[in-house]
Amino acid sequence: MNQSSDTSALELLARDTKAPLAEVTALFERERDALAEGATITNFVTLLAVRRVRHQLMQSASHH
């Protein structure tokens, strides 16, 4: 993914989960950095980070 598609994906995720974009972006950056740190193949780091953030936000929403 490139920066433009990252931004679009995060905006869509924020809208879908009704979470603030700033929160989604912060969670994404944390997850992406954690995944990239140990990755030897980085092709799917962004995709995996978005999935992890979606999961976290959905769990958070179901607990409120």
Per-residue model confidence as pLDDT tens digits over 11-58: 999 999 999 999 999 999 999 999 999 899 989 999 999 999 999 999
Helix (H) or strand (E) holding 18: none
SS3 63: coil
For residues 64 and 47, the model is more confident at 47
Q: How many structural domains does the chain have? A: 1
Residue 2 pLDDT level (bands cut at 50, 70, 90):
low
- Predicted pLDDT of residue 3: 74
CB atoms within 10 A of CB 10: 19
Tokens representing 58 are: 């959905």
What range does the domain containing 28 cover? 3-62
**Does the pLDDT of residue 1 top 70, yes or no?**
no
